[in-house]
């Protein structure tokens, strides 16, 4: 008999709102079990049809994987023996983290496994939008070859333009390194990061409004919470330069999509590069998908052959740490750790939170 039970929703036929790691359907749990099996933990799939079913099946589990079902406050309240809730992604918006915190349950994530991939994709979106790739492809297909060169002579070169980063976490820092290699000036706004963290990286710290006004490209990299939900709305898009572009490979609900569509249609901003959307899976009729000045991809910024095995391994490692009575490497609600019985084995961090 297993020493610990790790509960997870059995994959459902209908795709749920969320990214690939949330909807992941696997034939085995070999990656997660690399850390879980040695400590006597067993992953059990729950064929729950409703939240009530899930609560009844998971109520005695020591751990829950946030996959395939939103882990709501109601579910959390029904978990009588849960020590940890694990997410195999950077974002934890599929878990009611505030409720988990009230019940003293740490919620773990995977904040540093696919940083380079997302930074690469951010730059791909920026470069594609800047060089009008969709528009140029359409013109070639329409036999308008000769019009491309004169048209592109209306736009400045990338070198010397300004990139504004909303937040300055792991991905934003990786984007900054890439952007500087292209000759971009980089500014950033993040009230939770010391200015010296930015200036050491050659990035100028600025206020949010100043960032919007000065940037030729605004790139969103903040986590999703009440502070950042719809952080880019009508007023923010109006504050940007008419020649500026908005890039988002972070969290979809950080953008007010109606406001973004309106800003693009009215020429308040020049274009966008988007990997995430307010509602996912996105409606194929979304007006953003019909615009030649908007580069879009289906929430795949993190996707490489390395990404899924490593995130699953890390998820298993985090659960195993807590089940063994230790702090996880990354908890998004670290206040649950401070007065817990869990042992702190890491050195004291000098950056932001226990995962930096």
Residues marked active site are found at: 251, 280, 299
Q: How many helices (H) and strands (E) does the chain have?
A: 14, 12
What's the rounded Cα separation, in Å, for the pair 19 and 3?
31
Pairing of the two strands 217-220 and 162-166: parallel
Token pair for residue 213? 């006004």
| Beta pairing partners, 219 | 165, 247
Residue holding tokens 């773990």?
A: 108
- Triad 226, 227, 233: Cα angle to 5°: 100
For residue 262, the tally of other CB atoms under 10 A from its CB is: 15
Alpha-carbon distances, residue 181 vs 32, 118, 159, 174, 301 (angstroms): 37, 17, 9, 11, 20
Contacts of 208 (CB under 8 A, 6+ apart): 166, 189
What's the rounded Cα separation, in Å, for the pair 116 and 119?
5
Token pair for residue 117? 């991939």
* In contact, 110 and 314? CB cutoff 8 Å: yes
């Amino acid at each position: 008999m297993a020493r610990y039970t790790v509960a997870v929703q059995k994959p459902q036929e209908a795709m749920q709102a969320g990214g690939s790691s949330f909807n992941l359907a696997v034939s085995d749990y070999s990656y997660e079990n690399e850390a879980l099996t040695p400590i006597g933990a067993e992953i059990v799939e729950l064929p729950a049809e409703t939240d009530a079913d899930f609560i009844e099946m998971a109520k005695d589990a020591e751990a829950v994987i946030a996959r395939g079902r939103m882990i709501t406050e109601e579910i959390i309240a029904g978990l009588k023996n849960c020590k940890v809730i694990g997410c195999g992604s950077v974002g934890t918006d599929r878990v009611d983290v505030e409720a988990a915190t009230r019940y003293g349950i740490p919620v773990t994530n995977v904040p540093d496994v696919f940083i380079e991939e997302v930074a690469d994709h951010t730059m791909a979106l920026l470069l594609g939008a800047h060089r009008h790739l969709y528009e140029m492809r359409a013109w070639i297909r329409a036999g308008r070859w000769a019009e491309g060169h004169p048209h592109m002579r209306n736009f400045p070169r990338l070198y010397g333009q300004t990139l504004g980063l909303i937040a300055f976490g792991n991905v934003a820092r990786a984007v900054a390194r890439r952007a500087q290699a292209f000759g971009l000036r980089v500014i950033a706004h993040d009230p939770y990061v010391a200015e010296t963290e930015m200036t050491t990286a050659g990035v100028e710290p600025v206020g949010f409004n100043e960032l919007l006004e000065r940037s030729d490209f605004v790139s969103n990299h903040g986590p999703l919470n009440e502070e950042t939900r719809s952080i880019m709305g009508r007023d923010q898009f109006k504050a940007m330069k008419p020649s500026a572009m908005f890039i988002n490979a972070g969290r979809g609900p950080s953008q007010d999509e109606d406001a973004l569509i309106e800003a693009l249609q009215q020429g308040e901003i020049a274009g966008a590069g988007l990997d995430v959307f307010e509602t996912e899976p996105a409606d194929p009729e979304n007006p953003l998908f019909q615009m030649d000045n908007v580069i879009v991809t289906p929430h795949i910024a993190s996707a490489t052959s390395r990404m899924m095995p490593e995130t699953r391994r890390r998820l298993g490692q985090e659960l195993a740490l807590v089940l063994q009575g230790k702090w996880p490497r990354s908890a998004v609600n670290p206040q649950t750790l401070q007065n817990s019985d869990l042992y702190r084995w890491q050195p004291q961090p000098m950056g932001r939170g226990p995962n930096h």
